[in-house]
Amino acid sequence: AQSVTQLDSQVPVFEEAPVELRCNYSSSVSVYLFWYVQYPNQGLQLLLKYLSGSTLVESINGFEAEFNKSQTSFHLRKPSVHISDTAEYFCAVTWMDSSYKLIFGSGTRLLVRP
């Protein structure tokens, strides 16, 4: 079955420290990969995506993620976090045999402390 795993339900980190949020998916069949961010009482905002090409993708606010096909992973990283990065982060995958839908992980709450 197709599934997305985010092993860390919560990641506490101090401001200006680096962070990595982990994401693994169940199959190496052709996929599109996404990270969404959700602030309290809001919908989902697309942070970055991998469709094809370079395996390293970047967002405008300093996050990056790397597609690793052999490890079926798409971990999210930021070298220096800010208080404003505190939010819930969801990894999501679209498999090409069901390209109309996203399957989400359970989310990781990033808590940035001063």
Partner 1 sequence: DAGVTQSPTHLIKTRGQHVTLRCSPISGHKSVSWYQQVLGQGPQFIFQYYEKEERGRGNFPDRFSARQFPNYSSELNVNALLLGDSALYLCASSLLDKNYGYTFGSGTRLTVV
| Site residues, partner 1 (CB under 8 A) | 4, 32, 34, 36, 42-46, 49, 51, 90, 92, 94, 98-107
Nearer to partner 1, 46 or 83 (CB): 46
- Distance (Å, whole) CA 89 – CA 75: 11
- As measured in angstroms, the least distance from the Cβ of 5 to partner 1 is 11
62 sits in which H/E element: none
Nearer to partner 1, 10 or 55 (CB): 10
Contact call for residues 33 and 65 (beta carbons, < 8 A): yes
Nearer to partner 1, 43 or 53 (CB): 43
User: Residue 17: which residues within 8 A CB-CB, separation 6 or more?
Assistant: 80, 81
- As measured in angstroms, the least distance from the Cβ of 14 to partner 1 is 25
Kindly report the backbone phi and psi dihedral angles of residue 84, in degrees, each rounded to the nearest multiple of 5, phi listed first: -70, -10
